Amino acid sequence: MPILIHAIKYLATGFAISLVTLLYPVLYIFQDNMLFFPRPLAPASKQILQHQHPGGMVNLQTVDKINLQGWMVNTPKRGKKPIMLYFGGNAEEVSSFLLTVAPKYPEWVIMAVNYRGYGESGGEPSEKALYSDALLAYDWVVAQPGIDGDRVVVMGRSLGSGVAVYLAAQRKVAGTILVSPYDSIKNIAQDIYPYVPVALLLKHPFKASSYAPTIKVPLLAIIADGDQVIPNRYSRGLIAKWGGPHQLKKINNVGHNTISSGVGYYKTIADYLAAVAK
């Protein structure tokens, strides 16, 4: 009997090691599919945007010849306006944000460009690509007539909060709005897979907290009390390292995907934008 028990333990250990050995390459190979969820541009949304904002479609070409598609709305007929650059979540096609939010802040130009592979943008998403494309969008838009380059606010939601933080660290902005932000994707992934060497396997760590200390402009961070995708501790980890003044707004009775429906969500953003605009 002792020999049998020893054999069973040996086999169980070998089986566990085999599973782990198989798990690592699977996680490495399929991590892009676990992080990015590209969504197409719905024909109805495109038609509405074209009708409401004729001439508002934006097409940018990257240095590696990828075409990025997005929209710039609320542009002035004369004079200049402040602008908000928006970066969406990992399963977000930006037309829905523009259709919902642009009418709420008509005094602001709002621009959002779909990530690679999202909407009608070509290519495939990656951390490096999202960062470089954000810089491209910023550099293009601040050179446009009607844009007040001294009043640029970057806004990022969920995955896009990391992109917004990177952009704010690299370019001149007047303010930053982060919705459901995180300190790093690496930290979140490590908690999900505690026995996996995430630091060695992760291709897109999105270490937002490493850029936060260098940013001195005011931060508005909005979090949901019931967020199970990016728990509040990851958001607070980023906020704690912010280099400038910050304001934290917690929305009650909402989760990660319903935060914008919470009481005070749009009003908090409006108040922040009004302060920046002055």
Place of tokens 């390292």: 241
User: Which residues span the domain enclosing 100?
Assistant: 36-277
Q: Is 264 domain-assigned? A: yes
Neighbours of 72 (CB within 10 A): 25
Q: Is 159 domain-assigned? A: yes
Neighbours of 252 (CB within 10 A): 10
Neighbours of 61 (CB within 10 A): 11
Q: Is 19 domain-assigned? A: no
pLDDT of res. 276: 94
Query: What is the spatial distance between Cα 159 and Cα 86, in angstroms, rounded to a whole number?
Result: 12
Instruction: Kindly tell me the burial class for residue 4, based on how many C-beta atoms sit within 10 Å of its own C-beta (0-12, 13-18, 19 or more).
Output: exposed
| Strand, helix or coil for residue 192 | helix
Sequence-distant (≥ 6) Cβ neighbours of residue 232 within 8 angstroms: 223, 225, 250
pLDDT of res. 22: 52
We report the CATH number of the domain holding residue 271 as 3.40.50.1820
pLDDT in tens, the chain (278 residues): 444 343 334 334 443 344 445 556 766 776 788 899 999 999 999 999 999 999 999 999 999 999 999 999 999 989 999 999 999 999 999 999 999 999 999 999 999 999 999 999 999 999 999 999 999 999 999 999 999 999 999 999 999 999 999 999 999 999 999 999 999 999 998 888 787 777 777 889 999 999 999 999 999 999 999 999 999 999 999 999 999 999 999 999 999 999 999 999 999 999 999 999 88
Q: Is 129 domain-assigned? A: yes
**In degrees to the nearest 10, what's the CA dihedral of 225, 230, 236, 241?**
-160
Q: Is 97 domain-assigned? A: yes
Q: Is 27 domain-assigned? A: no
Counting the structural domains of the chain, the total is: 1
3-state SS, one letter per residue, for 124-188: CCCHHHHHHHHHHHHHHHHCCCCEEEEEEEEEEECHHHHHHHHHHHHCCCCEEEEECCCCCHHHH
For the CA atoms of the chain, what is the radius of gyration?
21
Place of tokens 């037309």: 95
DSSP 256: T
pLDDT of res. 201: 77
Walk across the sheet containing 219-224 and list its strands.
57-61, 67-73, 109-113, 81-87, 147-157, 175-179, 219-224, 246-251
Query: What is the spatial distance between Cα 114 and Cα 91, in angstroms, rounded to a whole number?
Result: 11
